[in-house]
Structure 1
Amino acid sequence: MKFMVYNVRDDEIPFVEKWGKDHHIEVKTTTTTLNTTTIQDAAGYDGVSGLQTIPYSQLLFAEFKKLGIHYLALRNVGVDNVDLQAASDNDVLVTNVPAYSPESIAEFAVTMALFLTRKVGYMQRQLMEQHKFHFAPEFMGRLISDQTVGIIGTGRIGRHAISMFRGLGAKVIAYDKYPVKETNGEFAYVKDLHELVSQSDIISLHMPATADNFHLFNHELFEMMKDNAILINTARGSIVDTQDLIFALESGEIAAAGIDTLENESADLQDSRSTKKLTDPDVIKLSMMPNVIITPHSAFHTSESVKNMVSISLNNLKDLVAGQKPDDLVN
């Protein structure tokens, strides 16, 4: 067996190398994005591991078939950027890593909420832009324990977020098309999304991207939110209409936003060696707002997550080549 690992980051390399040595399997790494051109470098390999937010297209899977490669193991959860039908049509089995560390993402969402409720961005702006360092009335924040937190999506990550917000004393309500049966009294489901949005002081998104929730958070929904509300998105960028979010922040429809993922993310976002300067006008505009924290799709990024993403992905490849059916098969 031998595997090719694309989009590898520097922090992943030690875990990849250790896995290869432990399992006596040749594993080659490359920092390049997986596309119809770079897939040629995997000729002669038994399987491919990938991590990217840009599409895995029909044309790419056609190249897989030409090269006789039948296995793609993602190192992430989301498959919304994967043409799964094209993968199946070209005899490519795809796996993901559905739970590499849900605590990591949930913890980051809570971190963003604390940053924004305590007005840390305003303190930083005073210091960095005005070179002043003193108390100001506009720094007055709110206690999490005085607020209602709305969680959208009560899967693994959402339930960890609920537990953490509850630990800070918040009242938690939730909405999910497929609610869990047992809430253990930690939170209450509301009947629909509009009810959650109108009641919540903090809204944290924890659902996958689907065709049904594209731009779910748009001008109409922002108007329903409280004017002191905070939106946290550590899920998928396509769920939020970026232009409508910027308008909502500038007009005061909502108070603040924590954004870890944006729509139309580029390949450079996951390239730790990139030297390109930021040019996206939306990211620049959001980054200049003291009531916004924006990060480069990094909520997952802990040592525990990286280790699990690498090892689970490569274990899935090993099982597939051995003729076994991994639990993480998605097509």
Structure 2
Amino acid sequence: MVKIMLYGVRDEEIAMVEAWSLKNDVRVDYTKLNLTPDTVTLAKGYDGVTISQVADLDVSLYSTLASYGIKQVAQRSAGFEMHDLEAANANQLIISNVPSYSPESIAEYAVTAALNLVRKTELIQTKVAEQDFRWMPAIRSRVIQEMTVAVIGVGRIGSRVASIYRGFGARVVAYDIEPREEFADLVEFQSSLQAAIKLADIVTIHMPATPQNYQQFSLDLFKQFKPGAVLINTARGPIVHTEALFTALEAGYLVAAALDVYDGEAPYVPVDWRGREMLDPVFQRLISHPQIIYTPHIAYYTDTAVRNLIDSPLDATLDVIRTGDTKLRVN
């Protein structure tokens, strides 16, 4: 019987894993541990591996897995920047991802985060908790219909974000390094990132992390924001220079931000850190900043997405075992 090992499985995923195993007549074993040099031996004797971690993999793992006869590693996320693709190629390992597990989930959350900033719900709830029920300019809001939204990255997720904002009646501008013609009726593509940002009351990021956009949202870029604008990042942490964002907020280049991702999140997300010392001062400042709403990489986190993040990598793993390839490979 075909055997697959899953690393980093959470309790809530076990029933989904077992359902897939029964449906496909494949033995699937699992561990809550991540794939590391200390745990890689758990994969010995298996035909395939899937993982769900955000920290970079130790490059020695690729040769070890290859020595076990394993031909692939299925990443249970859209991002695959944690993999050294050259090292994987050198060991004839196929790396796959899940390019689309629920774009609607992320799009809906990105808009929800923006609405919370625009409608100042956190401040309102704080005042209610203080039993301060007054109406005052500090909690007065704007209307989305009268705003311009800049969607940065118009793919599966960005296009859905644009569609939701169009439903509100907002003007939607966009920037993408490769504008797709099928979205030309949905957004007004701009010639540059800077051109899109200068028009926008809401800037919402939906790009993958690449070497080219590492810390692209820098202080120089924040200086070009429209006065009163807000930033939403439900994409990847490395795209935003966090300390530059602090400076920009304090200087008034933008008024607020909602971040579902952070460049240094790997040790903390998803981990119960209660009662433990926060070792990252930038992250500590981020989660306590009065102008930032931070959430722990949960924009995707819906029933649909969790199920797809189990089924799709297992399907890809089985494809490689049976055919030698998968349409989800990234190397």
- TM-score, normalization by structure 1: 0.95
Contact 1:149 1:201 in 2 (8 A): yes
Matches within 5 A, 1:1-331: 1-128=2-129, 130=130, 132-183=132-183, 185-271=185-271, 277=276, 279=278, 280-331=280-331
How high is the sequence identity, in percent, across the aligned residues?
A: 38
Distance between the aligned counterparts of 1:125 and 1:256, measured in 2? 16
Task: Give 1:227 shift.
Answer: 2.5
Of residues 240-249 and 3-12 in structure 1, the stretch that sits farther from structure 2 once superposed is 3-12
Asked whether the 8 Å contact 2:66–2:91 carries over to 1, the reply is yes
SS in 2 for 1:203: strand
Q: CA deviation at 1:197?
A: 1.3
Q: CA deviation at 1:182?
A: 2.2
| 1:155-204 deviation digits (Å, cap 9, x = unpaired) | 10111111111111110001011110122522110001110111111011
Q: Distance in 1 between matches of 2:55 and 2:148?
A: 35
Structure 1 alignment gaps of length 5 or more: none
Corresponding letter in the other structure for 1:295: T
- Whether the aligned pair in 1 keeps the contact of 2:94 and 2:325 (CA below 8 Å) is no
Letter in 2 for 1:54: A
Deviations 1:18-75 (A, max 9, x none): 1011112111111112112111111111111111110123222122123222211111
| Distance of 2:74 and 2:19 partners within structure 1 | 18
2:159, 2:183 within 8 Å by CA — same for their partners in 1?
no
Structure 1 stretch displaced more, 280-289 or 56-65: 280-289
- Classify 1:127/1:240 alpha carbon distance in 2 versus 1 (closer, same or farther; 3 Å): same
More relative contact order in 1 or in 2 (CA 8 Å, sep 6+)? 1
Following the alignment from structure 1 to structure 2, what is the Cα–Cα distance between the partners of residues 9 and 278?
A: 24
Q: Deviations over 1:100-156 (max 9, x none)?
A: 11111111100000000001121233345x454443320011111111000111110
Partner Cα separation in structure 2 for residue 283 and residue 123 of structure 1: 25
Poorly superposed stretches of 4+, deviation over 3 Å: 130-136, 273-278
The alpha-carbon deviation at position 268 of structure 1 amounts to 3.8
Note the C-alpha offset of 1:276.
6.2
Q: Which runs of 5+ in 2 are unaligned?
A: none
Structure 2: how far apart are the matches of 1:28 and 1:136?
Answer: 57
Residue type matched to 1:15 in 2? M
After TM superposition, the score normalised by the length of structure 2 is: 0.95
Give the aligned residue type for 1:283.
Answer: F
